[in-house]
Amino acid sequence: MINKCIVSRICGIIMCVFLPCSAICAERGVFDMARWDTILDNVRSRAASQNISRDMIDATLKSPAFIPSIVRSDRNQSEFTLTLDEYLARTVNSRRIKNGREMRATYPTMLSRVEQRYGVQPHVILAFWGLESNYGSYRAAHKLTDAFLTLMYDGRRETFFGNQLLALMKIADDNNLDINDIRGSWAGAMGHFQFIPTTLQQYGADGNGDGRIDIIHSVGDAMFSAGNYLNKLGWNPNERIVRRVALPADFDISLLDGKTKKSLPEWAMLGVTNEDGSPLPSSGMIAGLVGDTKTIQASRDAAISAAASYTDPNAIDTDIAPQPVIYAYLTYPNFYRIKKWNNSNWYAIAIATLADELK
C-alpha cells in the first residue's frame, strides 16, 4: 500500500504545478503539504473518536486529491440575479412540468406512501425533486470526499466542511455504502434532493425497506428523506403555499419583504385582491407579501419617464403618472418552511408554482 503522505505529496505537487490553489498557495507559491497532512491526520483522529470503522477511515483517506476547480467555484460563485419572471421561466418550464407528470405516473405508490407517512402531498415532493435535480437526471461529477478535503484545505469554511466529511463517513459506514462512489456538487449536495451530509444524517429515511439509506441510488429513500425533512419543518398539507395577487399601482412596495405579516382582511384593506381582481378570502389567515421590487420600481420609473416625454418635464407629477398594475404573492406558513430548505424567496415561489402545475 502506498503511504498516505507520499500520495498526498504527489497529489499536492501536481495540483500546484498548474495553479495557485488556495490563499496559502498564493502566499507561499507552493502547495502547503504540512497543512494538507495535518487535515488528513485530523480527519483520521476525529473519525476514530466518533467510532467510524477503521475500514471506512482507510477507504476515505486511501488516495485523497486536491481539486483546484472546486476552490475556484467556491470563490467565484455567481453574484448575478434573475428577475422573478426570468427565474420562473427557467425553473417552471413546460419540459419540467411534463417530466414531473411522468414521474407522478411512474411512482404513484411511493408518493402515496410518503404522503401517508409524512403528510406531504405528491405534487409537493415532485416539485422539490424537479427543482433540485430535474427528477434525478442531474449527474453530479465530484467525488465528495475530495470536494470536502479540498474545501477544508482552502480554509474559508474549514469547520463546516470538516463536519460534512465526518457526517458522510458516518452515513457510509452505517449504511454499508462505498464512500468513494458517492458524488455530488462541488459544495457537497448529493442525491435526488441535493441533501448535504449533515441534513441527510438528521432526516434520512429508508423508503424501500432494505435497511439502508441511499438517497443517490434509491428513489424511495430519497423521497422518504425529503418527506421526513419537510414534516419535521412543520409542513401543513391543509394550507396552500402562496397566492398570486394584484396590488394597487401606488402600493407601498416596502411591504413586499415577506417579513411584514398581516391577516387577509388587513391586506384587503390595503387594496390587495386576487389576481383577477376579485376579493381575497375573508379568513383570518396570516400571510406575508413578496414581490419583485426591483422590477416593479423599474417599471414605475419607466412609466414616469414615458409620461415626461409627452409633457413639460418641469410639470410632471410622479403621483399621477400612469403606472402598471403590480403583481405579487401572499406567502403563507408553508412558504417559510420551504425557505428553511432553501432561503430564497424566488425558490419558494418556484416550488409553489411547480407544485400547483403538478397537482
Rounded CA-CA distance 36/41 in Å is: 9
pLDDT of residue 74 exceeding 90, the answer is: no
| Ranges of H-type helices in 157-216 | 158-174, 197-203
Q: Within 10 Å of residue 304's Cβ, how many Cβ atoms? A: 17
- Return the bridge partners of 287, or none: 262
pLDDT band at 132 (very low <50, low <70, confident <90, very high): very high
Cell 398581516 locates to: 262
Read off the pTM: 0.87
Cell of 304: 414616469
Instruction: Tell me what the mean pLDDT of segment 201-222 comes to.
Output: 97
pLDDT score, position 18: 35
pLDDT band at 8 (very low <50, low <70, confident <90, very high): very low
Q: Does domain 4-76+139-232 have CATH number 3.30.499.10?
A: no
pLDDT band at 62 (very low <50, low <70, confident <90, very high): very high
pLDDT band at 311 (very low <50, low <70, confident <90, very high): low
Sign of the C-alpha dihedral, residues 315, 317, 323, 328?
positive
Phi-psi domain of 14 (left: phi exceeds 0; alpha: psi -120 through 50; beta: other): alpha
Amino acid at 25: C
3-state secondary structure of 211: coil
Question: Which H or E element spans position 142?
Answer: strand 142-143
CB 126 within 8 A of CB 228: no
How many residues appear in the chain?
359
Cell of 249: 399601482
* DSSP state string for 64-84: ----HHHHHHHHT-------H
Average pLDDT, the chain: 88
Cell 448535504 locates to: 196
Amino acid at 248: P
Among residues 209, 207, 205, 201, the alpha carbon closest in space to that of 220 is found at 207
Q: Where are the domains of the chain?
A: 4-76+139-232, 86-133, 242-331
* 259 half-sphere exposure, CB direction, 13 A CA radius: 3
pLDDT score, position 75: 83
